[in-house]
Structure 1
């Protein structure tokens, strides 16, 4: 049953019982209506308590019914709220855990609200490119005031119940025993003659409502220029302020329907479901037992190793940090402390938390100190011989059942697993730099990786706040494999006539957080140079544009050396166009016998993005990734792809794969066209009129 109905001492208790967060499914809505009807017909009932089972009042809409007829099947949420609001017997919403989205809108329809301290209150629909569609934009301002409500609605942020104790939203906020407090409250108001208060009837007053709303519009336009939902939220609120509740409700409904059709909302909803889908592995059931992870060992104290250690310490997990060199270990610990101290100065971390987190990280020079670790993470130099040495050492001292992970970004995980006597315990955990900040974690599944190892590290990823995406074994896995043709196209376009600033400007205008050349300077041009040098040896038949090698031969490795594709002033990160690099590029074109031309920005964007898409199609065909949305998740979480476009594969769907294929064939007929070969998976879907994400819709 999605709803439980009981009576106690003259009070009907309607309990939402739809785990995990009591989503307002069609069955739940029907159950609440049935409970209300039963309470009205029982002369012994004087009041009704509406509450939730488990750890939540209600998290709002049932996400399993999104994009299905049941989502809007009668009774709709608006119908349900009307039934609650017009009940002749008082309805008390008893809130604990979370009351979000439709859950909060339902509570706002009740005559009274009582909350447990610590409950999270929010209208987060804007994060899906929508706005509250069941009266939230109208009732919340009347409950807590225009300014506070607008800030909550436009940001989608949650607020703890005690922070709203004096706002008018709650009649009581209690420390404990919510059921007992709700029962006593219901008995008290049930003995009182109606009518009982309605939020919709409260006056909405503000000394300068139009001025404040214009101020809010200006702020939203600057902070979220690519997202229409925040502005539509403000418009709906304004209609309610200036024209009354009913006109505001009509404006809200109209805005919700319009936003539902926008590409931005589609992209945000796609990302929402993609993140949840990425955690599901078809052949690893949720019932798979997990291995205990009480002690983590990180080998390597460079930028990556220290960031990984911080990720675990931030989640309260103890970490041993091993480096063979005492000075390198001291530098690593100093860097960790400096990072935490910077967070304290910015007010993001308390001094006590700094002390606690530093205490969780134990530096050591001795391998034997790691023998009791449950999870080893190697974060050493990206060279197979170095990995071999480290993994043979780990294998020699690790206890049975320990998980052995490599942070490799491109190397063959199966070969690494072969350096041990327990390949079933080896997995890839490719963190992104800075590891303590970046959300993406590529989990690389080797040929022999055991299901419980995979289940354990996926669970661990959630513990440390990462978005984990599983990849099979191939050179570069998902993210870096797709990045290679992207960067090659960037280099080819330099040879053909573009300059770094133009390429970066074009793709950043498309929405990328950073163009390929600014990104390379930040990461270090020597890193990709080392990868290319390995590939020159392993696959001499592959052709790469060499202009990036010329840059590295001059020692221009990026921000860390003060010069890369751009020039950098000492102590600054702002990039300035480099006359030296521009001259190097022009000379390289002449050396290749290329007559330089002006490349339009549209071509720059298409060649870069479609290079990602084309390689992504190959990854899907090869089974390296389980679903197209996993590729989108990688690029949204780790590579700065614009969120409002939903990732490269969804963007290709929105353009139409027929059009993407035509563009690729057009570029294949131009200079450097040999780099373009339409991926069979792309061509097949285009011919069938399908998109990459069709199966997920």
Structure 2
């Protein structure tokens, strides 16, 4: 399918032709047909050309059939720029269509998202390919549909379903779109052919052309706007945008005229565009796209085939990893050394799928298919034909080295050998094999079948095609991949160490666990560091704390609080007590005076006079600990970009996306301000922990205020 050669160019991105008396305006700016100035100029010219031609009976607006879709929405890079204001606005175009004598039909294939769907809503009629995605996902970027979507969609399908689509940012397919009334019909095949055929049969000669803007909101009396506002979580990623969307729907319901509702939409849109939350979410959007690119790696690097997988270890992590690949349709051999452990692992996998099905997110058939893709076995030899082998065994270097020695003898040539270690030296693991070029780290985050982040860790001898394959495979299975080099903890967990260290120091200096966690949750984190430790299990980090303590020079401060809590048998939620107490069946942390006594004794033993600590100090000190370590990782080449660090922290550690990530937060403060604050902490707490990262000092010396 392609645009006929007879079509003419109306702009750099739009083509025009006439078929059987139907003018066809084709959006042709791959891959997403963004609504740039060139696109708007061409669209407007094409629609007017068709209107002015007496031989034309109706107009079809569609995407290039050879491309991926109809239109992916606004060109974000032109937001608030001169180019973004050049040429006719889409509002001008919609006003022209509304008063036009000939029908304009949007024929959608692939996708119509954001401004793309709004463009279709501005037409008289819409048809969509059955599997096309239709949606208004602007809330994910901290924005709202600013092309009339908050006003037209409620008038077309009702306020309740329209609000649900906008608040969840979830698309519907063309078939469902027809059921909802977003489109008149769904089709299969070439959008030009389908559009022309539908227009000839249904749109030609219609005297009273439907204009969505003229409709009332059909379910206006049944909408509970207060409940909609109350349902938004205080720390929701895009909460500000969601509240604004509800305000716009209220504007549509209460509007005397369409223009009244549009005034509400434009006011709310302008406020969001200028907000730091929207800037941070758009920064995140581009950061995630950038993270997929490997600096210095040729785009022509051939990928290794990954059509089968073996996972070693059927515990929580191994089972979750198996689900990740089964969900993507890739067969998995799940290997465990004990029958009981294997049976338990398979049972948990089935339970997870059944729980998802119970919520209506999977059919019984889908559950059966995915479970059927996972083959459990006790034989390590079963990994011999796998294209990719991922070990998810106990986090012990010697255990992993022993396993990789065995895998080296079993795996077929060219198989990728991956470790799920969260902090161990992958070079040492690779060194026990005869094929270190095939070894890589794939650090999934728990629960692996839920968490989107994947740290891809390249070892010293990892081959380029193994790196490229791993990054591409991550996208295929729905993960956001970030490339790292080897150090203790890689990117995320290495930064976590000073973050947790400062949390424990702050406890000794006067903060309570609940104050510390509360301050960081109020800042936007999903969970504070103390509650996070209880959730993960305080014993899990015990070995790391011991290793860190052994490396410290004599006389350097080290908090014993966590170790004493662990020695008391308080390992966190799994034992019903950690830094907090927990009631059976309830994850809510309950402050415990016993822990407060432990903290006070540790402070006294260390000669620390406790004091009142503000929430502001807690947040600032914790953020600066993250930022300073992140800057060191950048300088050492462990992380490729500052934005990669932010992608890791927002997707793997509960950092609020609407603040962009720790490095973005630092840039917003100004690196000169950050440097001065780190220097003040050095004066109070010593240079061992608070020596400014050389990169920050260099950037400030060069007059730069951002990473």
Stretch moving more, 59-68 or 519-528: 59-68
Q: 1:540 to 1:375 in 2, by over 3 A?
A: farther
Shift of 1:256: 1.7
2:242 alignment partner in structure 1 = 230
1:593 alignment partner in structure 2 = 607
2:120 to 93, 107, 111: 107
2:89 to 73, 76, 81: 76
Shift of 1:236: 3.1
Contact 1:628–1:692 (CA under 8 A) maintained in structure 2: no
1:644 alignment partner in structure 2 = 658
- 2:3 equivalent to 1:3: no
- Distance in 1 (CA, whole Å) between partners of 2:22 and 2:416 is 54
Q: 1:595 to 1:207 in 2, by over 3 A?
A: closer
Contact 1:33–1:83 (CA under 8 A) maintained in structure 2: no
1:14 alignment partner in structure 2 = 25
SS at match of 2:182: coil
Shift of 1:120: 2.0
2:292 to 279, 287, 293: 279
Alignment of 1:462-477 (within 5 A): 462-477=475-490
Shift of 1:107: 0.8
Alignment of 1:231-246 (within 5 A): 231-241=243-253, 242-246=255-259
1:48 alignment partner in structure 2 = 59
1:667 alignment partner in structure 2 = 681
Q: 1:229 to 1:39 in 2, by over 3 A?
A: same
- 2:172 equivalent to 1:133: no
Alignment of 1:59-458 (within 5 A): 59-63=72-76, 65=78, 68-165=81-178, 167-174=180-187, 178-188=191-201, 191-192=204-205, 194=207, 196-206=209-219, 208=221, 212-220=224-232, 224=236, 227-241=239-253, 242-458=255-471
SS at match of 2:401: helix
2:47 to 36, 58, 70: 36
Stretch moving more, 87-96 or 379-388: 87-96
- Distance in 1 (CA, whole Å) between partners of 2:80 and 2:422 is 37
2:526 to 508, 513, 520: 513
SS at match of 1:57: coil
1:676 alignment partner in structure 2 = 690
Alignment of 1:503-652 (within 5 A): 503-537=516-550, 544-652=558-666
Stretch moving more, 430-439 or 222-231: 222-231
- Distance in 1 (CA, whole Å) between partners of 2:82 and 2:644 is 26
TM-score w.r.t. the length of structure 2 is 0.92
- Distance in 2 (CA, whole Å) between partners of 1:565 and 1:194 is 72
* 1:573-621 deviation digits (Å, cap 9, x = unpaired): 2222222222111111111122221211111111111100111111111
- Distance in 2 (CA, whole Å) between partners of 1:296 and 1:521 is 33
1:24 alignment partner in structure 2 = 35
TM-score w.r.t. the length of structure 1 is 0.94
Q: 1:386 to 1:223 in 2, by over 3 A?
A: closer
CA root-mean-square deviation: 2.4
Contact 2:237–2:657 (CA under 8 A) maintained in structure 1: no
Contact 2:57–2:205 (CA under 8 A) maintained in structure 1: no
Contact 2:113–2:136 (CA under 8 A) maintained in structure 1: yes
Q: 1:381 to 1:67 in 2, by over 3 A?
A: farther
- Distance in 2 (CA, whole Å) between partners of 1:156 and 1:191 is 34
User: What is the aligned length?
Assistant: 692
What residue ranges of structure 2 are gaps of 5+ in the alignment? 1-11
SS at match of 1:576: coil
- 2:669 equivalent to 1:658: no
- Distance in 1 (CA, whole Å) between partners of 2:137 and 2:631 is 33
Contact 1:138–1:245 (CA under 8 A) maintained in structure 2: yes
Q: 1:216 to 1:363 in 2, by over 3 A?
A: closer
Stretch moving more, 378-387 or 633-642: 378-387
SS at match of 1:121: strand
- Distance in 2 (CA, whole Å) between partners of 1:130 and 1:119 is 23
Shift of 1:687: 4.3
Q: 1:543 to 1:191 in 2, by over 3 A?
A: same
Q: 1:63 to 1:339 in 2, by over 3 A?
A: same
